[in-house]
Amino acid sequence: MRADRSMARIVRVDGAFGEGGGQIVRSSVAIAAVCGVATEIVNIRARRPNPGLQAQHLTAVRAAAALCGAELEGDRLGSERLLFAPRHAVAAGRYAFDVAEARAGGSAGSAPLVLQTVALPLLLARGRSNVVVEGGTHLPASPCFDYLERVWAPALCALGLKVGLVLESYGFYPRGGGRIRAELEGNGPPRSLERLHSGALSTVEVRAIAASLPAHIPQRMADRARSLLAKEGIAAAVEPRRVRAASPGAVTFVAACYEGGYGGFTGFGAPGKPSEQVAEEAVTLFRAHRQSGAALDRWLADQILLPLAFARGSSRFTTDCATAHLRTQAELLRLFGLAAVRIDSEEKTVAVKVEPAEGEA
**Residues known to be catalytic:** 325
Q: Do β-strands 178-185 and 262-268 pair in parallel, antiparallel, or remain unpaired?
A: unpaired
Q: How far apart are CA 324 and CA 22, in angstroms?
A: 13
Which ranges of 97-185 would DSSP assign to H, the alpha helix?
A: 111-123, 145-147, 153-158
Q: How far apart are CA 95 and CA 19, in angstroms?
A: 30
Where b means 16+ CB within 10 Å and e means fewer, 206-225 reads bbbbbbebeeebbebbbbbb
Q: Do β-strands 237-243 and 201-211 pair in parallel, antiparallel, or remain unpaired?
A: parallel
Residue 169 carries which DSSP code? E
Provide the edge-to-edge strand list for the sheet that holds 237-243.
237-243, 201-211, 249-258, 262-268
- Chain length of the chain: 361
